Amino acid sequence: MSIPIIVYVFIFSYRPLKGLVMAFENYRPGKKVQEWVGWKNFGILFKDERFLRVIRNTICMSSLNLIFSFLFAILLAILLNELSNRHYKKLVQSVSYLPHFLSWIIVTGLVANFLSSDNGVINNALIQLGIIKDPVQWLAEPRLFWWIVAFSHVWKETGWNSIIYLATITGISPELYEAAYIDGANRFQRIKYITLPGIKSTVVILLIMNLGWILNAGFEVQFLLGNGIVSDVSETIDIFVLKNGISMGNFSLATAAGMFQTVVSIFMLTSANYVAKRLGEERLV
């Protein structure tokens, strides 16, 4: 029974690997024998200012996403833990997880609606408050694009990301809180000296694991919210591959870019796993 499964996995996951030779060729569709060019495509890539720019965009956007989703998720977990009414807590949790299950299409649609210069809610509110006079074209502002992406991530994923921290906090012994209370520690002191140290190791390990994904800033948000005006800051490596490969037919260059991303990611992920494991063991000892 395992034979068909192995064949299936081979066809869908291993067979495409042979396409990676395209990165070392000057691939032209339809030709029987492809011209072998060795590392030339990688040379072109790293001299290409567009490629260096998409690497910068990718790293900056994933760092921003990482920092903000961590901060907000931890904050939410702590505040949820401090809620004394269980039903209310449950309700807030349910509501905050919900956006995680909606597609980026829907979420970017909502973001675009809100930021729209044509009676978008944000613009209307700012005008009514007298902060701005004319509607701002938020999505056409290169300086703001990364922040809009980071904010969209926060909106969609904060609730979901907080689950793991909340689980860790729930695991902290209540005796610690009681003892601290008897010793006269107030709410903030208890959060600072018990809750935060209690989740520290989880935070560190998750942070390291997530650093492994730094070259994968995703492409859905950037692709969906991006437009010609902000393309210099919105394009990630994935979009570069998509544009060069599928739209422009520059298959070899796109494959090389994708391969670079995969190789770096594998290296980062295995080292992140290794470090996280080491830290995890130290924690146990």
Partner 1 sequence: MTNHYLKRSIPDRAFDVFNIFIMLLLMIVMLFPFWNTIVVSFNDAIDSIKGSVSWWPRKFTFYNYANLFRTNKLINAFWISVSRTVLATVLNVFFSSLTAYILSRKDFILRKLMTVFLVATMYISPGLIPTYFNYKDLGLINNYLVYIWPAALGVFNVIVIRTFMNGLPESLAESAKIDGAGEFRIFLQIIMPLCKPVLATVALWVAVGAWNSWFDTYIFASSKQWLSTLQYEMMKLLSSSIIQSAQANPNAAATTRANTVTPMSIRAAITVVASLPIIFVYPFLQKYFVTGLQLGGVKG
Stretch 184-223 residues interacting with partner 1 (CB under 8 A): 186-188, 220
> Encoding tokens for residue 163?
């689950």
Tell me the residue length of the chain. Answer: 285
Query: To the nearest whole angstrom, how small is the minimum distance from the Cβ of residue 109 to partner 1?
Result: 5
Query: To the nearest whole angstrom, how small is the minimum distance from the Cβ of residue 65 to partner 1?
Result: 18
Amino acid at 49: E
Cα–Cα dist 24/109, whole Å: 39
- Count the neighbouring beta carbons within 10 Å of the beta carbon of residue 279: 14
Q: Applying CB under 8 A, does 130 fall inside the site for partner 1?
A: no
Instruction: Kindly indicate which of the ranges 36-44, 51-59, 61-69, 256-264 contains the residues binding partner 1, using the contact rule CB under 8 A.
Output: 256-264
Q: Applying CB under 8 A, does 129 fall inside the site for partner 1?
A: no
Q: Applying CB under 8 A, does 148 fall inside the site for partner 1?
A: no
Output the CA torsion sign for 90, 101, 150, 196.
Answer: positive
Closest CA to 83 of 162, 198, 185: 162
Query: To the nearest whole angstrom, how small is the minimum distance from the Cβ of residue 273 to partner 1?
Result: 10
- Binning the chain into helix, strand and coil, the percentages to the nearest 5 are 80, 0, 20
> Encoding tokens for residue 137?
């074209």
Cα–Cα dist 173/177, whole Å: 8
Strand partners, 26: 35
Query: To the nearest whole angstrom, how small is the minimum distance from the Cβ of residue 103 to partner 1?
Result: 3
Query: To the nearest whole angstrom, how small is the minimum distance from the Cβ of residue 42 to partner 1?
Result: 14
Output the CA torsion sign for 247, 250, 251, 255.
Answer: negative
Of 65 and 152, nearer to partner 1 (C-beta) is: 152
Query: To the nearest whole angstrom, how small is the minimum distance from the Cβ of residue 285 to partner 1?
Result: 19
Q: Applying CB under 8 A, does 43 fall inside the site for partner 1?
A: no
User: Where in 47-106 is the site for partner 1 (CB under 8 A)?
Assistant: 76, 79-86, 88-89, 91-92, 94-99, 101-106
Query: To the nearest whole angstrom, how small is the minimum distance from the Cβ of residue 5 to partner 1?
Result: 5
Cα–Cα dist 15/2, whole Å: 18
Of 15 and 283, nearer to partner 1 (C-beta) is: 15
Of 42 and 155, nearer to partner 1 (C-beta) is: 155
Q: Applying CB under 8 A, does 131 fall inside the site for partner 1?
A: no
User: Where in 21-40 is the site for partner 1 (CB under 8 A)?
Assistant: 22
Give the one residue of 7, 19, 43, 200 binding partner 1; rule: CB under 8 A.
19
Of 7 and 52, nearer to partner 1 (C-beta) is: 7
Cα–Cα dist 127/38, whole Å: 58
Instruction: Kindly indicate which of the ranges 34-42, 43-51, 58-66, 177-185 contains the residues binding partner 1, using the contact rule CB under 8 A.
Output: 177-185
* DSSP structure class, residue 38: T
Q: Applying CB under 8 A, does 110 fall inside the site for partner 1?
A: yes
Cα–Cα dist 162/213, whole Å: 19
3-state SS class at 214: coil
Query: To the nearest whole angstrom, how small is the minimum distance from the Cβ of residue 52 to partner 1?
Result: 19
